[in-house]
């Protein structure tokens, strides 16, 4: 090993400034750090540090060459990662204050920049941008560190999105009324209305003797129930109050308040001491308050969707939603929150389209068959993961009818499904290229037919059947009688329980997607066709994770959890021994969802394909790290379902 004196600090500075985390330092800090860097030359196969050794206060940057990170198990060396130019290694042990978990070995002649971090540790720990980089790029073993740095930090400033990384700003807390207007349940409506007028508020909270909320009255209640003469003004307020009250904690973010209003379809949120109705009221937040804080409100969009009568109006609102999506993505809002908002908006749009089509058919004297039905979404929308407008995946499930009534019922629902599919297309959702839509007679079936269809797939798991299972097993009811969907789910679990080999076939199919990286950690790109030299983030990175989550959650017999991230989080609860892997998989899937949506917005497409060379260094690092759980999950499937013995 040969070490050279640091006489070229300017050249080192010019190199490090392009690579995170050094690119996140201010110029003065980077100049000072560069002056203390040493250059280390390593011969091929030379060990830089060994597994189990206590780390020194330094980290390494590959200037030229390549370094392999290997895990030593018994007499074997297992390759975990390969670092090439610009990659940083040796950080995790310093953060975790633990010994090296891997051995670092030069693959070829290699030059390293060795950075002594002891004097910079305090500065780095206090730098939120570097904390974000460490949390994103070295998630394994850093969850507690991330939580410490990012407590109460949710939003990022869109204008400070530079070179693939973000600059943190504090989350804005909601301001709620410190003295909410309240009244007892027995006072007359007229007096309560007078209190609201005098205090200039749009709501009054009805409380018991302990000031616990038992109801709420809004301007809308007064207009609809009192001004119309339905309830006399001398009656007690309990006659018109809405109850039970939706409550929340007094410490919350704009995002939390928005989501509560969207989920419960309300316009006022009551804040209590501990977030439950069993403690005193401390404030009220209205939809207007949210609009003042943040102009683009999903609750308002959903309300406008429910008022819309034409496809053009719905299309315009969905375009507004994509502007909101872009804002959330650039602000680094939680991907779980983003997907929840976009799912609520998509569901509201689909529901409104169905209602409008039903009304049109009724106006045309097309008589409904008088049988319950349920509209099911499939694929990414079924998993609550459709952020951008991609293609439609749907099915229709209707109740069983006597044989002589079946043709008329089927004809009605096919006509309805066809109109819904056409209108969704007018709203910007492409037709499914594989015709996996409710307008296809194959996917518009009665409950008995759907049970028979799933039974056939499960008990005769040929490749085509498994392919259909990967799509249809993620169904989710959006409109209609959800008890039909629940009955179908129960039937599926019963069938899977009687045909346990089916899960092995499903697990085997989950291993068919090609690896996302080459041996030397380059992105595996398409070799020919329309997307030559582009990376398929869906097939090579997202679907291996989604497929693994589906198999494992089915095996655990947990129904009604379709979302991939939520599936992994539930699996982490159920299997403590694999909790870290499942949590890493959940985090990785969130990163992939975010990158696909960002690429889609940038390129005005679905975001599925993009050129890796267009990514910043930090984006490439984040993506490569998000691929790490894939191989381990596939090894788990191999062992658990004994796939080595299957042909």
Q: What is the pLDDT of residue 539?
A: 92
User: Taking phi first (over 0 means left), then psi (-120 to 50 degrees means alpha), and beta for anything else, what does residue 228 get?
Assistant: alpha
Work out the average pLDDT over 66-77: 81
Q: Mean pLDDT in the chain?
A: 83
Nearest 5°: the CA angle 580, 582, 584 is 70
Q: What is the pLDDT of residue 621?
A: 81
| Angstrom distance (rounded) from CA 184 to CA 118 | 63
Q: Does the structure show a pLDDT above 90 at 97?
A: no
Q: What is the pLDDT of residue 150?
A: 31
- Band (pLDDT 50/70/90 cuts) for residue 4 is very low
Q: Tokens for 321, please give them.
A: 């939603």
Q: Are 373 and 484 a contacting pair, CB within 8 Å? A: yes
The Cβ of residue 5 has, within 10 Å, a number of other Cβ atoms equal to 7
DSSP state of 576: G
Percentage of the chain with pLDDT > 90?
45
Percentage of the chain with pLDDT > 70?
86
Collapsed DSSP state (helix, strand, coil) of residue 404 = helix
- Between 451 and 263, the higher pLDDT residue: 451
| Angstrom distance (rounded) from CA 486 to CA 559 | 9
Q: What is the pLDDT of residue 620?
A: 83
- Band (pLDDT 50/70/90 cuts) for residue 162 is very low
Mind listing the pLDDT tens digit for each residue in 408-440?
999 999 999 999 999 999 998 999 998 999 999
Cα–Cα nearest to 89, from 99, 97, 81 = 81
Collapsed DSSP state (helix, strand, coil) of residue 611 = coil
Q: Are 445 and 317 a contacting pair, CB within 8 Å? A: no
Beta bridge partners of 62: 112
Cα–Cα nearest to 641, from 514, 501, 546 = 501
First CA to last CA distance, the chain: 50
Specify the CATH architecture of the domain 182-295. Answer: Roll (3.10)
State the burial class of residue 36 (Cβ atoms within 10 Å of its Cβ: 0-12, 13-18, 19+): middle
Domain boundaries, the chain: 2-126, 182-295, 311-499, 507-645
Mind listing the pLDDT tens digit for each residue in 361-415?
999 999 999 999 999 999 899 999 999 888 899 999 999 999 999 999 999 999 9
- Band (pLDDT 50/70/90 cuts) for residue 209 is very high
Q: Does the structure show a pLDDT above 90 at 307?
A: no
Q: Which residue in this structure is represented by tokens 């908002």?
A: 341
Lowest mean pLDDT among 67-81, 496-510, 523-537: 67-81
Specify the CATH architecture of the domain 507-645. Answer: Up-down Bundle (1.20)
Q: Mind giving me the DSSP string for 526-559?
A: --SSTTTT-EEHIIIIIHHHHHHHHHHHHHTT--
| Angstrom distance (rounded) from CA 383 to CA 339 | 10
**What is the C-alpha R_g of the chain?**
29
Q: Does the structure show a pLDDT above 80 at 545?
A: yes
Cα–Cα nearest to 90, from 132, 143, 134, 125 = 134
Residue 587's H or E segment, with its range, is helix 579-603
Lowest mean pLDDT among 324-338, 388-402, 492-506, 534-548: 324-338
| Angstrom distance (rounded) from CA 445 to CA 344 | 26
In CATH, what number does 311-499 get? 3.30.460.10
- Band (pLDDT 50/70/90 cuts) for residue 128 is low
Q: Tokens for 276, please give them.
A: 């439950």
Q: What is the pLDDT of residue 43?
A: 92
Buried b (16+ CB within 10 A) or exposed e, 551-589: bbbbbeebeebbbbbbbbbbbbeeeeebeebbbbbbbbb
Q: What is the pLDDT of residue 172?
A: 40
| Angstrom distance (rounded) from CA 625 to CA 628 | 5
Q: Does the structure show a pLDDT above 70 at 147?
A: no
Return the half-sphere exposure (C-beta side, CA atoms, 13 A cut-off) of residue 59: 23
Fold of 2-126: Jelly Rolls (2.60.120)
Q: What is the pLDDT of residue 127?
A: 65
Q: What is the pLDDT of residue 130?
A: 67
Most confident option among 385-394, 473-482, 510-519 = 473-482
User: Among positive and negative, which fits the CA dihedral 171, 263, 323, 285?
Assistant: negative
Q: What is the pLDDT of residue 174?
A: 52
Cα–Cα nearest to 277, from 245, 251, 242, 240 = 245
| Angstrom distance (rounded) from CA 282 to CA 275 | 10
Q: What is the pLDDT of residue 156?
A: 29
Mind listing the pLDDT tens digit for each residue in 324-336?
898 888 777 788 8
Q: Tokens for 330, please give them.
A: 């650039």
């Amino acid at each position: 090993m040969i070490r050279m004196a640091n006489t070229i600090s300017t050249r080192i500075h010019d190199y490090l400034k392009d690579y995170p985390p050094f690119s996140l330092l201010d110029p003065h800090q980077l100049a000072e750090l560069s002056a203390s860097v040493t250059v280390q030359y390593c011969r091929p196969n030379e060990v830089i540090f060994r597994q189990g050794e206590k780390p020194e206060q330094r980290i390494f940057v590959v200037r030229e060459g390549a370094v392999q990170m290997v895990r030593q198990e018994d007499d074997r060396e297992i390759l975990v990662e390969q670092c090439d130019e610009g990659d940083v290694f040796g950080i995790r042990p310093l953060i975790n204050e633990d010994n090296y978990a891997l051995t670092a070995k030069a693959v070829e002649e290699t030059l390293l920049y060795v950075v002594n971090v002891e004097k910079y540790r305090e500065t780095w720990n206090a730098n939120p941008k570097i904390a974000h980089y460490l949390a994103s790029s070295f998630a394994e073993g850093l969850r507690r560190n991330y939580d410490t740095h990012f407590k109460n930090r949710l939003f990022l400033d869109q204008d400070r999105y530079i070179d693939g990384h973000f600059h943190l700003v504090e989350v804005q807390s909601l301001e709620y009324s410190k003295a909410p207007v309240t009244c007892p349940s027995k006072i007359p409506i007229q007096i309560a209305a007078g209190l609201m007028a005098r205090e200039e508020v749009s709501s009054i909270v009805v409380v018991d003797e302990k000031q616990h909320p038992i109801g709420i009255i809004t301007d809308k209640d007064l207009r609809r129930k009192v001004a119309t003469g339905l309830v006399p003004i001398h009656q007690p307020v309990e006659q018109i109050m809405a109850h039970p009250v939706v409550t929340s904690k007094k410490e919350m973010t704009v995002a939390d308040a928005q989501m509560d209003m969207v989920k419960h379809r309300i316009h006022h949120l009551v804040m209590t001491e501990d977030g439950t109705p069993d403690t005193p009221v401390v404030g009220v937040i209205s939809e207007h308050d949210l609009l003042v804080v943040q102009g683009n409100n999903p609750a308002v969009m959903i309300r406008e969707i429910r008022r819309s009568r034409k496809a053009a109006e719905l299309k315009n609102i969905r375009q507004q939603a994509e502007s909101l999506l872009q804002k959330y993505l650039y602000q680094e809002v939680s991907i779980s929150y983003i997907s929840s908002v976009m799912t609520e908006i998509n569901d509201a749009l689909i529901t409104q389209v169905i209602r409008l089509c039903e009304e049109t058919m009724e106006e045309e004297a097309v008589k409904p068959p008088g049988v319950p039905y349920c509209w099911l979404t499939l694929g990414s929308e079924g998993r609550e993961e459709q952020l951008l407008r991609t293609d439609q995946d749907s099915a229709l499930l209707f109740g069983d009818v006597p044989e002589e009534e079946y043709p008329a019922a089927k004809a009605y629902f096919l006509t309805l499904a066809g109109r819904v599919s056409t209108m969704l297309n007018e709203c910007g959702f492409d037709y499914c290229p594989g015709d996996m839509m409710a307008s296809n007679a194959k996917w518009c079936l009665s409950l008995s037919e759907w049970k028979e269809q799933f039974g056939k797939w499960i008990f005769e798991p040929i490749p085509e059947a498994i392919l259909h299972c990967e799509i249809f097993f993620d169904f989710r009811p959006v409109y209609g009688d959800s008890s039909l969907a629940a009955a179908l789910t129960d039937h599926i679990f019963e069938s899977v329980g009687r045909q346990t080999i089916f899960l092995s076939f499903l697990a085997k199919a989950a291993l068919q997607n090609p690896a996302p990286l080459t041996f030397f950690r380059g992105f595996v790109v398409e070799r020919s066709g329309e997307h030559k030299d582009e990376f398929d983030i869906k097939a090579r990175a997202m679907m291996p994770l989604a497929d693994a989550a589906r198999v494992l959650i089915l095996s655990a017999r947990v129904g009604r959890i379709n979302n991939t991230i939520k599936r992994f989080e539930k699996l982490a609860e159920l299997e403590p021994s694999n909790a870290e892997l499942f949590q890493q998989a959940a985090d990785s899937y969130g990163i992939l969802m975010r990158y696909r949506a960002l690429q889609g917005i940038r390129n005005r497409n679905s975001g599925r394909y993009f050129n890796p060379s267009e990514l910043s260094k930090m984006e490439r690092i984040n993506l490569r790290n998000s691929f790490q759980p894939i191989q381990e999950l596939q090894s788990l499937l191999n062992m658990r379902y004994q796939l080595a013995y299957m042909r």
